[in-house]
Structure formats: C-alpha cells, structure tokens
Amino acid sequence: MQLPIIVKRPFRIIAHRGASAYAPENTWAAFKLAVDMGVKDIELDVQLSIDGEVVICHDLSLERYGHPGYVEAMSWAELSQLDMGSWFSPYLFHGEKILRLQDLFKECGSEITYHVELKGKSDKLPGQVCRVIEDFNLGDHVIITSFSYETLERVSAIAPCLRLGWLVRKIDDDVLSKARALEVFQICPRADLLTKKAVRLARSVVPEVRAWGVNGSREEVLALIQTTIDAGCDGTTVNWPDWISH
C-alpha cells in the first residue's frame, strides 16, 4: 500500500501518546515530532503525583520505563528527575523528561486538540485535570477520555462544558444508551471491533466516533486505519501519524 493513506478532513489523525512509534511515548520528543508532522490532535495519558501535579504517563508502574515505583506514589520533585527516554533509545532520547499537563499546554497552547485520557486511580485526578484546563483556558481544545464511565460522570459534574470521549471495546445498545444519557461527545470503539453499521448507529447518538487500538504489523496497522476510514469514523489514534494525511 502507498503511504501516506489520504483521508478527507475533518477526520482526526490523533498522535497516540505523541508520535510514539518514533520517540518515547508521552514525552516532549514524541509530542514535538507529532506537531512537526503537522498533526493537530494529540492523545496523552495523565495521572496524579502524590503532591497533586497532573503528570503525563501511561503506565501506573514505572517499570517499563526502567525505574522502580509507581507514579502516584512519587512526588513531582522525584518524578521530574527520571530519565524517560533511555528505555526507548539511550542514544537518541537519554534524559528525556516526564511532563506535566501544564508543561504541554504551555508549549502547544491552542494549536492542538488534546485527547486527555484519565489513567490514574486517584479520586482527585478529575478535579485537578479540570483545574489545569481552566487555568490555561483550553476547555475548547480538550476532549477528556476514559474507559471508566464513572470517571466521565465525575468530570461532567465538575466541568459540564468539557467534551467527553468514552473508550469502549464495542458499540452496543448499552453503550449507546449510556453515551446518550451522559451526552458524551465521542464514543471511542476499538478499531478491530467496529463495523460500518455500529458507527452509523453511534453517530445518530453522539457527534463523533473515533477509534483506538491501531496496532500490529505494518500491514495490520494500515488495514485498521483503512477500516476506520471506510466505516465512517471521525478519527483514530495512531502511533505512526505520518502514515495518514489529509
């Protein structure tokens, strides 16, 4: 297949954890690369440090990144010292730092739509994330996502104007009725489980359907991207944001 796959706007090409196929996920290196590729949508994962900073990190444990301990058990002073790049490539990314949500907002401002996934377990996470968004007046540039419907309910109670994206495996009747009840902005099904019919149904309930879980071999990834486009999705996360273009 010829690259990049061309798709019509306003399909969202969402750099998953930044351009995470090419640089350590959720770091400035990965976000900057995505921006340089012309991407306007970035997905990222957030958790709360023990002293209440909203930090950008996917795994709860730091083991995969080469460190002991858990994000939520550490202070920002401790987390900010970690090398988050060497696990990916010591030559290219040694010393890459963990970021806070506010650091990314400071760098990219309103140039980007941020798909902020609430990953951490702390009860205080939704409130702290909403506070940072408000501090930067970036509510119109954020979609809050979660696999947890209860977490999205909490966000909605704190900041009713924020757009919500509900991460689910499949679109079914239960998902549709709960999405309607909470007035979520996006239903986000797994790319390999979506069908044209389900996407059409979901779009009669919510403004957007965007996919996730675009992984596998090169051929599998390209086929999944094409599936999301053919099914009528409004976007997808992708670790290779340069493989799709408008």
Q: What residues make contact with ligand G3P under the rule CB under 6 A?
A: 16, 43, 45, 58, 117, 167, 212, 237
By the rule CB under 5 A, 45 interacts with Ca ion: yes
By the rule CB under 5 A, 117 interacts with Ca ion: yes
Report, in Å, the least distance between residue 147 CB and ligand G3P. 7
Which residue, 84 or 167, is less far from ligand G3P as judged by CB? 167
Instruction: Give ∠ CA 241-34-78 in degrees, rounded to 5.
Output: 125
Report, in Å, the least distance between residue 144 CB and ligand G3P. 12
Stretch that binds Ca ion, among 6-14, 40-48, 70-78, 180-188 (CB under 5 A): 40-48
Report, in Å, the least distance between residue 237 CB and ligand G3P. 4
Handedness of CA 72, 121, 48, 107 (dihedral sign): positive
Binding partner of 167, given Ca ion, ligand G3P, none, CB within 5-8 angstroms per partner class: ligand G3P
Q: Count Cβ atoms within 10 A of the Cβ of residue 201 and give its class: 0-12 exposed, 13-18 middle, 19 or more buried.
A: middle
Which residue, 42 or 194, is less far from Ca ion as judged by CB? 42
Amino acid at the residue 170: K
Which residue, 41 or 95, is less far from ligand G3P as judged by CB? 41
The values of phi and psi at residue 50, to 5°, are -65, -25
* Paired tokens of 156: 């909605």
Amino acid at the residue 93: F
Report, in Å, the least distance between residue 44 CB and Ca ion. 7
Stretch that binds Ca ion, among 27-35, 43-51, 63-71, 122-130 (CB under 5 A): 43-51
Which residue, 91 or 224, is less far from Ca ion as judged by CB? 224
Rounded distance between C-alpha atoms, residue 194 and residue 164, angstroms? 20
Peptide bond into 126 cis (omega under 30): no
Cβ of 173: how many Cβ atoms within 10 Å? 8
Which residue, 131 or 169, is less far from ligand G3P as judged by CB? 169
Residue, CB closest to ligand G3P: 212
**Pairing mode, strands 41-48 and 54-56:** antiparallel
